[in-house]
Chain A
C-alpha cells in the first residue's frame, strides 16, 4: 500500500475548464453581471459575487424520456394505509406521487460564484479611459524602451550578429567572392601535379595557369572582405513615452440643502464606479473630495457623502478649490487628473461666467477628462428634468460643445447610472476618434 500526499500538488486543475465555461457563457454572464448591479451596493462592487444565468446557454442535452405522458410504474417506500386497488389523485405538476422530483432539471437559473477578477473583467469589459496616453512625461523622466528594427550604427553591445551575417553573405554572393572550397580545390590540383613523378611535359604550363588562378582567387578574397563595415547592423531601440501611472480623481459635489439624499446616492454611485474604473487603469489612484455650498472645502469621504451644510450655491468656489489643490499637490505634469462633478444644477446666475472661464481656462487644459453629472429628483422623471435647463447646465452646454474631454449627462434614477457611465467610457471606434 502506498500513501501519496497530494495536498501540495498545484491546485486549480479546474481553472482551464472554468475559463472555458465562462467564455462559453460570456454573453449571458456579462448581462447577468450588469443586471446584478441593481441589487448590489456600490461598495460591494469589487467583491466576488454570485450571479445566475439562464440554463439555455450552457445546456447539455441528452436523449431521455419525457417527464409526462405514457403509462408508468413506480415502487415507493413507506406505505401507510394504501391497499391494492386504491386510487390516488395524481399530484399536480408531475406524474405519480412526487416521482422524478429529483430528476427534472427544471427551468430555474444556473447559479454560480464569480471571483472578484472575473467579475470586474466582465463588468468593465469594453470600456476605456479617454486619452489615457495623452499626458506624456516630459524629458528627464524614465521612458519605456522598445525594440524598433535595425540601424547601421550603434554600440557594439547592440550588434545583431544574425542580421550582420545575413547582409555579409548577400554581399559576398553578389560580388562573387571565391569560397574557401574553391581555393582548396585549386591548391589540391597544384599539389597533385607537383607530386607527379616523373612530371609530364604539359605540367609546367598547367601549373603556371593554376598558380595564376590561385593568385587571382587569393587577391579577390583579400579585396572582398568576409565581413565589411557596411554589413554591420545594430538592434535599434526607441524610447516610448509611458503614460503616468498615477491618477487623481477630484470628486466635486454640491451639498447645499437642495441636494436630497437620493441625489447624493446617485452621485456616490457614479463616483464609486469611476474610482473602480480608474483603479484598474492606473497603478495608483488618489481621490480628493471637495464639497461646496457657497464655500468649498476639501473633506474626507465620510463628510463628503453624509454631512449636510447649509448655505447658498456657488459652483465657482469648488472650482477654485480644485485648482488650488491641484496646484498644490497634483501637478498636471505628474498626475493624470480626472474631475467628476455632481450637482442638481443650481447655481447663482451671476456666478456662471466665472464658472465657465475657470473650467475652460484652468481646469480643462490640465485635466484628462471632466464629467459633469446632473442628478435629478426621483419623483420627477424625465419629463420635467430632461427638458428644463438648469443654471449650471446652461453654463456648461457651450463648454461641452467646444471640448471633447468635457462631458455632461443627466441622471434621475439609480438604474441609469451604469448606462450613463458606460456611455461615457465606451471604447470608441477609430473613425469616431479621428473625427473628433
Chain B
C-alpha cells in the first residue's frame, strides 16, 4: 500500500463538510483495514466553542439532569476560557454506540484530521474493547438512560419541589465516589427499559402494601438478632454506600431512592474511565500518531500540516519534571503514549535487557497485536506494573521518595538503577490503582436494637487519615439520607486500632 497520493487531502487550514468526509474516508481504511481496529459506528458532531463549554459542564455528556454544581463548573470554565487561562479541548468523545465525537468548528483542517484519528478511532476502539468498559458500561443504553434520568429528576422537581430534590442530589453527589460496585460483575442491563422497571417496582410496592400490617398488635419484643444474621440480612459489610442507602435506608421515599440509584449508576458508568486514564489517552494518542504518520508518508497531508501536527502532538505528550515548576502529576498522555511506543520498540527491536524483562513480547514483530491485547485486557495499574520498562525509567529518570510522618526529612527510596526498577514500577502502578488511591470506607453495621446508628469504617493505610473538614460535611449528608445518627471510625489496617472517629446527626426537617 505504498502508493503516494497525487494530491494531499487539504492544503490550507480551512475545512468544510466535504473535506471532513474525505478525511474520514482516508483515515478509515488505515484504522480499520490496516490497524484492524474494532470500533463502534462513528458520529461526528460539529459544535461551537460555546457549546463545548456547555458540554464541559455536564461532565461531557450531551444531556444531563440539572444541578447547581454543573452551573458552578460552567462559570469556572467560562471564566478561565474567556481570560485565556485555559483553552478548550479540541474534542470530546462519548462512550456510546454509535460513538459520538464532538469536534469544534474552530479547529483547523489538520486538527480535524487529528481529532478524528484520536477520538473517533483511538478512544472508540478502546471503549469498545477494554474489558472494564465491556464489563461495567452499557454503550448502547447510556444516552437513553441519561434521557430517563433527566426526565425523572425534572418530574421529581415538579412534584416535590426543586429544593427537596437538590438536597438529595447534593447528598448523593457527596457520596458519588462511594457509589460504585468495585468487585462483582454487573450483568448487562438493558437500560432502555429502566423507566418501565421503575414503574413496575413502584406498582409492585403499591400492590403488596396492606394497611392491615399497621394494625397488627405488637407482640412480645422480638429476640435480639444475632450479629451475623443481621449483617447477612442487610448485606453488610457494604462498600457501595449509595447502594446500601437505596436498598436499606429506612426513611427514604421511593423517588429519593431512585435519585440515589441514578447518581450511583452514572458514577458506575464513569468508573472505568477513572481507572484507565493513562491507557485510554495513550491508546488514542498512539492511534492518532500512527495514522497521521501514515497519512504523511502517503502524501495525503502536507509537510506543513504534519509539522503543525507534530507541534500539537509534542505539546500533548510533554511531561514536565518534578522541579520544573509545572509539575503536579504525571501526564496521562505522556505516560500512556510513552509506554506504548516503548512496547512497540520492544516488539520490533529488543535489547538484551528487554528480552529478560519482557520475554513474552520481545521481538514478536507484531506490536499492534500486542498493543491491542494490552488495550483490551489491562487497566492503568496492571498496565504500568507490567509494561513500564527499565529503559523508560532511565529515560524519564524516575525516582521514588518516601515521606514518613516520623521523619523530619523525605527519603529517596529508589532511583533508576538495577535495585530500583521494580520498586519504582510497583509504586507508580499503585499510584494508578484506584483501590489504593481512594479511601476504603465501608458500611459495617447498623445498631438495629438501639438508636439505628449507621456504623462505617475507614481502613487506614499507612496512617493517612481522612480530611477532617470534608469528612464531617459528607457525614452530615449521609446522616441526612440515613435519617439517624451516623458514626465513622478510622481503623488502622494492621492492628485494627481505632485512630479517630467522627459522628454526625441528621438535620431535623431535612427529610419531610
Question: Contacting A77 at CB < 8 Å: which of B46, B177, B398?
Answer: B398
**Is the C-beta of A196 less than 8 angstroms from some C-beta in chain B?**
no
> Bound complex: CA of A87 vs CA of B51, how far in Å?
50
Evaluate contact between B329 and A102: CB separation under 8 angstroms: yes
Mark out the residues of chain A between 51 and 86 whose CB falls within 8 Å of any chain B CB in the assembled complex.
Answer: 58-67, 69-80, 82-86
Evaluate contact between A82 and B177: CB separation under 8 angstroms: no
Mark out the residues of chain A between 1 and 50 whose CB falls within 8 Å of any chain B CB in the assembled complex.
Answer: 1-7, 9, 11-14, 16-24, 50
Evaluate contact between B404 and A71: CB separation under 8 angstroms: yes
**Is the C-beta of B181 less than 8 angstroms from some C-beta in chain A?**
no
Question: Contacting A63 at CB < 8 Å: which of B74, B396, B474?
Answer: B474
Chain A residue at minimum C-beta to C-beta distance from B241: A63
Evaluate contact between A7 and B47: CB separation under 8 angstroms: yes
**Is the C-beta of B182 less than 8 angstroms from some C-beta in chain A?**
no
Instruction: Using A77-B396, A82-B412, A86-B412 as known contacts, say yes or no to A63 and B441 having CB atoms under 8 A apart.
Output: yes
Write the nearest CB–CB distance from B335 to chain A, whole angstroms: 9
Mark out the residues of chain A between 85 and 141 whose CB falls within 8 Å of any chain B CB in the assembled complex.
Answer: 85-90, 95-103, 110-113
Question: Contacting A84 at CB < 8 Å: which of B46, B98, B174, B415?
Answer: B415
Evaluate contact between B322 and A78: CB separation under 8 angstroms: yes
Query: How many A-B contacts are there with CB distance less than 8 Å?
Result: 263
Chain B residue at minimum C-beta to C-beta distance from A2: B43
1/0 per position for A290-308, CB-CB distance to B under 8 A? Answer: 0000000000000000000
**Is the C-beta of B427 less than 8 angstroms from some C-beta in chain A?**
yes
> Bound complex: CA of A71 vs CA of B494, how far in Å?
14
Question: Contacting A69 at CB < 8 Å: which of B42, B98, B458, B463?
Answer: B463
1/0 per position for B462-486, CB-CB distance to A under 8 A? Answer: 1111111111011001000000000
Evaluate contact between A23 and B78: CB separation under 8 angstroms: no
Evaluate contact between B82 and A113: CB separation under 8 angstroms: yes
Question: Contacting B413 at CB < 8 Å: which of A9, A13, A73, A112?
Answer: A73
B46, B322, B439 interface centre (most CB from chain A within 10 Å): B322
Chain A residue at minimum C-beta to C-beta distance from B395: A77
Which B residues are CB-close (under 8 A) to A50? 79
B176, B412, B441 interface centre (most CB from chain A within 10 Å): B412
Chain A residue at minimum C-beta to C-beta distance from B396: A77
Chain A residue at minimum C-beta to C-beta distance from B322: A76
> Bound complex: CA of A19 vs CA of B166, how far in Å?
14
Evaluate contact between A7 and B46: CB separation under 8 angstroms: yes
Question: Contacting B462 at CB < 8 Å: which of A71, A77, A90?
Answer: A71
Which A residues are CB-close (under 8 A) to B102? 6
Question: Contacting B51 at CB < 8 Å: which of A6, A64, A97?
Answer: A6
**Is the C-beta of B330 less than 8 angstroms from some C-beta in chain A?**
yes
Chain A contact residues (Cβ within 8 angstroms of B): what range? 35 or more
**The stretch of B3-11, B65-73, B190-198, B375-383 that contacts the partner chain:** B65-73
Instruction: Using A2-B44, A70-B463, A71-B403 as known contacts, say yes or no to A113 and B410 having CB atoms under 8 A apart.
Output: no
**The stretch of B17-25, B274-282, B364-372 that contacts the partner chain:** B17-25
Evaluate contact between A85 and B44: CB separation under 8 angstroms: no
> Bound complex: CA of A51 vs CA of B487, how far in Å?
39
> Bound complex: CA of A111 vs CA of B470, how far in Å?
21
Write the nearest CB–CB distance from A122 to chain B, whole angstroms: 14
Question: Contacting B439 at CB < 8 Å: which of A60, A63, A74?
Answer: A63
Chain A residue at minimum C-beta to C-beta distance from B24: A1
**Is the C-beta of B400 less than 8 angstroms from some C-beta in chain A?**
yes
Instruction: Using A72-B462, A95-B403 as known contacts, say yes or no to A4 and B45 having CB atoms under 8 A apart.
Output: yes
> Bound complex: CA of A63 vs CA of B178, how far in Å?
8
1/0 per position for B36-48, CB-CB distance to A under 8 A? Answer: 0000011111111
**The stretch of B53-61, B126-134, B249-257 that contacts the partner chain:** B53-61
Instruction: Using A76-B399, A87-B412, A88-B409 as known contacts, say yes or no to A16 and B66 having CB atoms under 8 A apart.
Output: yes
Instruction: Using A75-B427, A87-B410 as known contacts, say yes or no to A62 and B71 having CB atoms under 8 A apart.
Output: no
**Is the C-beta of B307 less than 8 angstroms from some C-beta in chain A?**
no
Which B residues are CB-close (under 8 A) to A69? 405, 463-465
Evaluate contact between A11 and B54: CB separation under 8 angstroms: yes
**Is the C-beta of B408 less than 8 angstroms from some C-beta in chain A?**
yes
Write the nearest CB–CB distance from A412 to chain B, whole angstroms: 36
Instruction: Using A66-B468, A75-B431 as known contacts, say yes or no to A85 and B412 having CB atoms under 8 A apart.
Output: yes
Which A residues are CB-close (under 8 A) to B408? 90
Instruction: Using A1-B24, A21-B68, A21-B75 as known contacts, say yes or no to A63 and B51 having CB atoms under 8 A apart.
Output: no
Mark out the residues of chain B between 421 and 457 whose CB falls within 8 Å of any chain A CB in the assembled complex.
Answer: 424, 427-428, 430-431, 438-439, 441
Question: Contacting A70 at CB < 8 Å: which of B319, B438, B462?
Answer: B462
Evaluate contact between A11 and B50: CB separation under 8 angstroms: yes
The binding surface of chain B is classed by DSSP as mixed
> Bound complex: CA of A257 vs CA of B284, how far in Å?
74
Which B residues are CB-close (under 8 A) to A5? 17, 45-46
Write the nearest CB–CB distance from A19 to chain B, whole angstroms: 7
**Is the C-beta of B248 less than 8 angstroms from some C-beta in chain A?**
no
> Bound complex: CA of A89 vs CA of B403, how far in Å?
10
Evaluate contact between B330 and A64: CB separation under 8 angstroms: no
> Bound complex: CA of A17 vs CA of B154, how far in Å?
13
**Is the C-beta of B324 less than 8 angstroms from some C-beta in chain A?**
yes
Which A residues are CB-close (under 8 A) to B319? 77
Question: Contacting B427 at CB < 8 Å: which of A73, A83, A110?
Answer: A73
Which A residues are CB-close (under 8 A) to B70? 14, 17, 21
Question: Contacting B466 at CB < 8 Å: which of A6, A21, A66, A76?
Answer: A66
Which B residues are CB-close (under 8 A) to A4? 43-46
Chain B residue at minimum C-beta to C-beta distance from A82: B412
Evaluate contact between B321 and A77: CB separation under 8 angstroms: yes
Evaluate contact between B402 and A11: CB separation under 8 angstroms: no
Write the nearest CB–CB distance from A71 to chain B, whole angstroms: 4
Evaluate contact between B402 and A71: CB separation under 8 angstroms: yes
Evaluate contact between A67 and B467: CB separation under 8 angstroms: yes
Mark out the residues of chain A between 330 and 376 whose CB falls within 8 Å of any chain B CB in the assembled complex.
Answer: none
Which A residues are CB-close (under 8 A) to B458? 63
Which B residues are CB-close (under 8 A) to A19? 71
Evaluate contact between A71 and B463: CB separation under 8 angstroms: yes
Write the nearest CB–CB distance from B195 to chain A, whole angstroms: 22
A20, A101, A103 interface centre (most CB from chain B within 10 Å): A20
Which B residues are CB-close (under 8 A) to A80? 323, 397
Write the nearest CB–CB distance from B443 to chain A, whole angstroms: 13
Which B residues are CB-close (under 8 A) to A90? 403, 408-410
Which A residues are CB-close (under 8 A) to B46? 3-7
Evaluate contact between A63 and B470: CB separation under 8 angstroms: yes
Write the nearest CB–CB distance from A55 to chain B, whole angstroms: 10
Which B residues are CB-close (under 8 A) to A2? 42-44, 98
B166, B320, B401, B467 interface centre (most CB from chain A within 10 Å): B401
Chain B residue at minimum C-beta to C-beta distance from A57: B72
**Is the C-beta of B411 less than 8 angstroms from some C-beta in chain A?**
yes
Evaluate contact between A66 and B51: CB separation under 8 angstroms: no
Evaluate contact between B465 and A58: CB separation under 8 angstroms: no
Evaluate contact between B464 and A60: CB separation under 8 angstroms: no
Which B residues are CB-close (under 8 A) to A58? 68-69, 72
Evaluate contact between A23 and B68: CB separation under 8 angstroms: yes
Question: Contacting A113 at CB < 8 Å: which of B78, B120, B405?
Answer: B78
> Bound complex: CA of A108 vs CA of B79, how far in Å?
16
> Bound complex: CA of A95 vs CA of B416, how far in Å?
22
> Bound complex: CA of A361 vs CA of B440, how far in Å?
80
Evaluate contact between B428 and A21: CB separation under 8 angstroms: no
Which A residues are CB-close (under 8 A) to B474? 61-63
> Bound complex: CA of A170 vs CA of B15, how far in Å?
73
A-B contacts, 16 of them at CB < 8 A, read A3-B46, A6-B45, A11-B50, A61-B469, A61-B471, A63-B474, A70-B405, A71-B404, A74-B401, A75-B399, A77-B322, A78-B324, A79-B415, A84-B417, A90-B408, A110-B76
Extra pairs beyond A1-B28, A111-B76 (16, CB < 8 Å):
A1-B43, A3-B43, A3-B46, A14-B57, A17-B58, A17-B67, A61-B470, A62-B177, A65-B465, A70-B464, A75-B427, A77-B327, A77-B396, A77-B397, A79-B398, A113-B75
The 5 closest A-B pairs by CB, nearest first: A78-B321, A102-B328, A21-B71, A70-B464, A17-B71
A residues with CB within 8 A of B:
1-7, 9, 11-14, 16-24, 50, 58-67, 69-80, 82-90, 95-103, 110-113
